[in-house]
Amino acid sequence: MPELPEVETIRAFLDERVRGKTITAVEIGLPRLIKNTTADRFAAALTGQTLEGVERRGKYLFVRCRGPWSFLVHLRMTGSLLYEEKPGQYAGRAIHLIFTLSEGRLLYRDIRTLGCLWLVPSEGATGVKGYDNLGPDAISPDFTTDRLYDLLKGCRRPVK
């Protein structure tokens, strides 16, 4: 499973490459990976959207678009998001979603198909239970020892 630092590395890599590009087509090979809508609605809502960037919160990647819809990805154990400059660069099995961009392609690859994708509003609450109620980010500059102390000072449970 990608751990938090790996997810942040993926975010930074993708953000640099996809920012400002437009999704021209979405191909979904495994519709069950889309958790909160149909594959057709997911593809229709995102086609034509310009990518503003990739954000991370916990182990979720939020691919933010300029329009009303964006998408959220959780890689789970074996998922990965890849940027492909030339089609065929990552040819092979386990590519389940292809976002064709104005330049290049964004691919979702997952060997064990445990990952999840959600169509979410670009602004406000996402409606994704595990995402909307996440606590403070462990690698955020705002998460200091003083902040941790404040969070734990009233707690009587053992720290493991």
Q: At residue 68, what are phi and psi to the nearest 5 degrees? A: -75, -20
DSSP assignment string, 101-121: ESSSEEEEEESS---EEEEEE
Does the pLDDT at position 81 exceed 90? yes
At 92, which helix (H) or strand (E)? none
Which of these, 121, 128, 33, 32, lies nearest to 76 by C-alpha position?
A: 33
pLDDT tens-digit readout, 88-101: 888 878 999 999 99
pLDDT for 58 equals 92
User: What is the DSSP secondary structure assignment for residue 33, as one 8-state letter?
Assistant: G
For the segment(s) 4-152, the CATH number from 3.20.190.10, 1.20.1250.20, 3.40.190.10, 3.40.50.620 is: 3.20.190.10
SS3 54: strand
At 1, the pLDDT band (50, 70, 90 cuts) reads low
Higher pLDDT, 15 or 4: 15
Contacts of 47 (CB under 8 A, 6+ apart): 23, 24, 25, 26
SS3 43: helix
